[in-house]
Structures are given as C-alpha cells and as structure tokens.
Amino acid sequence: MPVLISVLRPVAVVLLVFGLSGCTAVDQPGSAASPAADAVALTGVEGSDRGNGRPQVSFDGLMVRRRVVVAISPNATADLVALRGQLDQAADSLRLRLSDIAPTVLDAEVLEQLAPELIIALPEGGTVSDAGKILDLISSSDGAFRGGVQLHVGSVLVHDLRFAVLTRDPGALQESIDREGILSDALGNYRMTARTNELRIDYTGPLLSDDLIQSVRAGIARPADAEPDEVSVSPRSAAGLGVDMKMEPAPGEQTAPTPHNQPAH
C-alpha cells in the first residue's frame, strides 16, 4: 500500500520503506552502482497502465530511467509557490536541479490517496537520500510546512527519449508542430531543438506505451512529409544506466513497508 508522509512540523518526519526488490537496472560491468540501490530509503513506485498499472513498453534499456520524485499535497494554508522556491534553493545547495514532472508518473493508488498539487523530480543519479536531505533543509525553514502537507517520496520509472527527423527546414517544422499541438496532447512536457536539417524532440516523463510512441512518430512525420519509421526513437543520453523492462516486477509487487525515521535536528 502506498505511503503518505504527514508533515505537521519541521523535522522528525517519519518515512516508510518499500524495498525495490526485482528492480534491476541495465548495467555495464565496472560501472557505478545504480541509484536504485539506495532507493530503499523511502518508497518504490512504478509507472502507468497495462491492467497492472503500466503500459506495454518495449522502448527500454537506456530509454527508460529511474528517477526519484517528491509529490506534495498541501492543505489550504500551505504556500506552494514558497515551498517550491525553498525546494529549489535547498536542491541548489546540494548542486541538484529539480524539474517538474507529470502526475501520472506516480502509481494510480498514490495519486488517488494523495492528490498531489506539486510533483518534482530529482536529476538522474539523484537518490532518495538526496531527497531526504532537501526535505531536511527546508523543514528547518520558517513556514515551509506551515499548516501541514503530505509527502510521497520514491523511485519511479520514466521514459527518457529523443525523437528526431530529417527535414530541410527544422524551424518551420517546429512551428507547425507547435501550432497543431501534435506533441503537447501526447507528451505534455517536451523540448524541441532545431539543428542543421534535423529537428529533435526530447521527452522525459511518464512511461509511454508502444502505441503512443508510434502515434507520436506519425504526428511528427506528417508535417515533415515523412513516413513514421523515418522518425527515429533513441535514448536522450547514452550515459548512465537504463532499465530492462522484462526484469521489472509489476506495480504492487514490492516488499512490505518498514519504518525508517529521519534524525531530528
């Protein structure tokens, strides 16, 4: 069962643990340990929809990454804008950069119970321990959690993709895609980069089904006067560790929760 962390005053926050049993990262011999190894500090959460809560995903390996997220549900008196600013400031002090991420990166049961209004992701390589340090830093700030908030912190799976298509006029194609809303409906957040005779679309967010990825390729290809299979799909980065989806347990197949207390300051 998902874990909600009620924060009624700074520090002394009670955290619960889901072990990430069976969450195997694709690793190369001699590479650094996966961030998932110390993600047993808070909560392990999987992606979204296939009856068991996850889409059919064959675009995996380096195209799927583990990211640590913090989901926050405040009460009526909490100041979300101030809280986000404090999160960014605390992360900056640890040389980490936070980014917004779509709510559907969380398990459906977590979304139903928590109904978060703010979800942020740590950068790749950021750990649950790093998230705890960020929360420690802001928990000592005046008014950060005034009135109480509920938190969910855990490791999730995200797609980290680059779509690319050759085109004589990348700028015009970018404008066409923006105008038609082809990608905003399917992907939500993404970034387009016009290069010489090529347009790249980078996406980091909730796992996409194979069917949706094919639909995105078709949506990019149409205004580019290309065929869908001419739109390449690759990892956004060749660095780091990917995930073999065949090795992933189904959502909900984690171990029972174990209590873990943050030290009070």
Separation CA 199–CA 156 (nearest Å): 29
Mean pLDDT, range 69-90, rounded to an integer: 86
Region of residue 148 (left: phi > 0; alpha: psi -120 to 50; beta: else): left
Give 78's pLDDT tier (boundaries 50, 70, 90). confident
pLDDT of amino acid 5: 40
Which region among 58-72, 139-153, 176-190, 241-255 has the lowest average model confidence (pLDDT)?
A: 139-153
Of all residues in the chain, what percent carry a pLDDT higher than 90?
49
Nearest to 161 by CA among 259, 242, 54: 242
Report yes or no: 161 and 236 within 8 Å, Cβ to Cβ: yes
Instruction: Please tell me the predicted confidence (pLDDT) of residue 94.
Output: 95
CA distance 27 to 24: 9
C-alpha distance from residue 25 to each of 34, 117, 155, 214 (Å)? 7, 30, 12, 25
Tell me the pLDDT tens digit for each residue of 13-55: 333 222 222 222 222 223 333 333 333 223 333 333 444 468 8
Confidence at 253, pLDDT banded by 50, 70, 90: low
Domains and CATH numbers, the chain: 5-156+241-261 (no CATH), 160-235 (3.30.70)
Question: How far apart, in whole angstroms, are the C-alpha atoms of residue 17 and residue 43?
Answer: 5
128-170 pLDDT, tens digit per residue, is: 999 999 988 887 655 555 556 788 999 999 999 999 999 999 9
Dump pLDDT digits (tens) for 231-249. 999 999 999 899 999 998 8
